[in-house]
Amino acid sequence: GTVLRGSFTASGTTPRWYEVDILSFVLAAIAGGRTQLTLVLRSPIVTNSLGVFSSDETDTAPHLLMGLSTILL
C-alpha cells in the first residue's frame, strides 16, 4: 500500500533544491530485508500546476545523495 513518508511545499518558479530526509524509511526497509525502494513525488490535491525537474544534462541536474557510512552503522 501507499504510505506518506513526508511532505514539503514547493512554491515559486525559481529553480531551487528541495531536501527530503528519508533515512529512517531506508533503514527500516533494509532492516526488513528489502533491496529495492520506490519513491514517488506527487501533489496531495488536484491542481493545474506542474512540477518541472531538470535532466541530468543541465547545470541543475537532480541528485540523490546517500551517506553509506550512516546506513551501514
Q: What is the pLDDT of residue 67?
A: 63
Percentage of the residues of the chain whose pLDDT score is greater than 70: 85
Higher pLDDT, 68 or 40: 40
Using CA atoms in the order 38, 39, 43, 49, what is the torsion angle rounded to 10 degrees? Answer: -110
List, for residues 32-58, the tens digit of each pLDDT value: 999 888 888 777 788 887 777 777 777
Residue 64's Cβ-side half-sphere holds a number of Cα atoms within 13 Å equal to 6
Higher pLDDT, 70 or 39: 39
Q: Mean pLDDT, the chain, as a whole number?
A: 76
73 pLDDT above the threshold of 50: no
